[in-house]
């Protein structure tokens, strides 16, 4: 058993407590004591807080340049971007609609000329006899028909340039596309002078009676060069002909004639179909003849006010003039015949005023340009 009288030396010292009789004390002295105690405690708290705040402020001051520097860069970057955008907008407004000289860009940009120069490919069993001279037969309308008896006619200019014989069977008021599906004096007598029906006249030689009926029906309305072209055509020995050239101007476009048919590429009531039907008949009947298709040159359209306007913007029928030429190029290429693009390669919108007498017809200088392009294709393989 433990000795109850044993004194434990490890017992902690208990501080002596002053016992205060609150009843005997003055309330004001009590409040002063409390204030002193709180003041001491608060002062120690404020001191600690001040020391912490000082450390925190020093830390912020030390870190503040690092924190502000990226933010400043972002603002400067945004300001620069806005200035650049505003500058571009201002420049664009100042230069909006400024006219440019196309000649400044000739070295960089150029029109694509749709020339397709094809040689005559001899067919098996076909003998080509060279008689030592070149005979060319020309079909078409105004380009060949205008001033036909003048030394400045297109046919005579080609003769002078080549030394060839050029037989002119063009009819000035004719079209390439036919109005009727058949040749008849009662339906569309002027169809007698388009390319396909003239082709049947010398290839088949079985419709002279129809032509005579048409001439009688037309009477005084007969084109002056119509009868001459027909009679000249019927007197030609096509076994001695080397080249057939056809050139129709923009009259079919201006008249709103149909352009092409995907369902029937030899539909003679189409601009391209009439050409294809005639080419097929010539190649079948006279395979030794080389065929050269000359596209229309540029022609101005005429609006309701009688003003000349761009034929690339004005439609009379299926499409604009350039589409007629592009389609004609495609069908000529399919039939392996030479195609000379006069719309982009000879007389185009930019120079048309220099080479046309009106919105359509060629002046002498214009004919010379066309003749040069024809000679280029004629002698390409020589």
How far, in Å, are 11, 66, 76 from residue 70 at the CA level? 65, 7, 10
Bridge partners for 247 per DSSP: 140, 294
pLDDT, tens digit, 9 for 90 and up, residues 89-106: 776 656 554 444 444 434
The 10s digit of each residue's pLDDT in 222-270 is 998 999 999 999 999 999 999 999 999 999 999 999 999 999 999 999 9
What's the confidence (pLDDT) of residue 27? 52
The span from the first CA to the last CA of the chain, in angstroms, equals: 145
Query: Which of 4-8, 17-21, 82-86, 198-202 has the weakest average pLDDT?
Result: 4-8
Kindly state the helix (H) or strand (E) to which residue 204 belongs, with its residue range: none
Q: What is the pLDDT of residues 172-193, one digit of tens each?
A: 999 999 999 999 999 999 999 9
| pTM beyond cutoff 0.85 | no
- List the beta bridge partners of residue 142: none
Residue 67's pLDDT is 52
> Does the pLDDT value for residue 110 go beyond 60?
no
- ∠ at Cα 301 (295, 305), nearest 5°? 170
DSSP H helices in 235-320: 251-255, 271-285
**In the predicted model, what is the mean pLDDT of residues 358-370?**
98
Sequence-ordered list of residues with C-beta below 8 angstroms from that of 53, at least 6 positions apart, any chain: none
Mean pLDDT value of segment 361-367? 98
Bridge partners (DSSP) of residue 291 are 244
Burial readout 95-129 (b: 16 or more C-beta within 10 A, e: otherwise): eeeeeeeeeeeeeeeeeeebbbebebeeeeeeeee
Residue 129's pLDDT is 72
**CATH, range 113-378:** 3.40.50.1110
């Amino acid at each position: 058993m433990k000795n109850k009288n044993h004194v434990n030396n490890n017992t902690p010292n208990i501080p002596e407590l002053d016992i205060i009789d609150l009843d005997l004390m003055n309330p004001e002295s009590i409040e002063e004591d409390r204030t002193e105690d709180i003041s001491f405690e608060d002062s120690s708290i404020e001191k600690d807080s001040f020391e912490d705040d000082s450390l925190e402020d020093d830390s912020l001051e030390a870190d503040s340049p690092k924190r502000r520097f990226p933010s400043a860069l972002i603002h400067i970057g945004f300001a620069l971007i806005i200035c650049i955008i505003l500058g571009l907008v201002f420049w664009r407004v100042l230069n909006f609609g400024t006219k440019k000289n196309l000649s400044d860009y000739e070295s960089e940009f150029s029109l694509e000329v749709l020339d397709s120069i094809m040689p005559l490919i001899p067919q098996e069993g076909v003998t080509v006899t060279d008689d030592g001279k070149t005979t060319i037969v020309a079909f078409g309308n105004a380009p060949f028909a205008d001033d036909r008896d003048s030394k400045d006619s297109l046919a005579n200019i080609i003769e002078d340039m080549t030394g060839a014989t050029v037989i002119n069977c063009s009819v000035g008021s004719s079209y390439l596309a036919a109005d009727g599906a058949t040749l008849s004096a009662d339906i569309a007598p002027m169809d007698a002078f388009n390319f396909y029906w003239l082709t049947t006249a010398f290839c088949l030689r079985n419709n002279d009676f129809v032509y005579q009926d048409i001439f009688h029906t037309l009477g005084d309305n007969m084109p002056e060069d119509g009868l001459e072209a027909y009679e000249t055509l019927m007197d030609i020995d096509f076994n001695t002909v080397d080249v057939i050239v056809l050139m129709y101007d923009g009259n079919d476009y201006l008249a709103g004639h149909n352009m092409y048919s995907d369902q029937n590429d030899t539909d003679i009531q189409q601009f391209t179909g009439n050409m294809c039907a005639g080419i097929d008949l010539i190649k079948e009947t006279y395979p030794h003849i080389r065929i050269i298709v000359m596209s229309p040159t540029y022609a101005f359209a005429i609006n309701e006010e009688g003003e000349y306007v761009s034929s690339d913007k004005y439609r009379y029928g299926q499409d604009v003039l350039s589409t007629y030429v592009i389609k004609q190029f495609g069908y000529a290429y399919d039939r392996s015949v030479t195609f000379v693009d006069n719309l982009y390669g000879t007389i185009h919108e930019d120079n048309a005023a220099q080479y046309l007498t009106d919105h359509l017809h060629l002046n002498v200088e214009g004919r010379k340009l066309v003749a040069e392009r024809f000679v280029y294709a004629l002698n390409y393989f020589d």
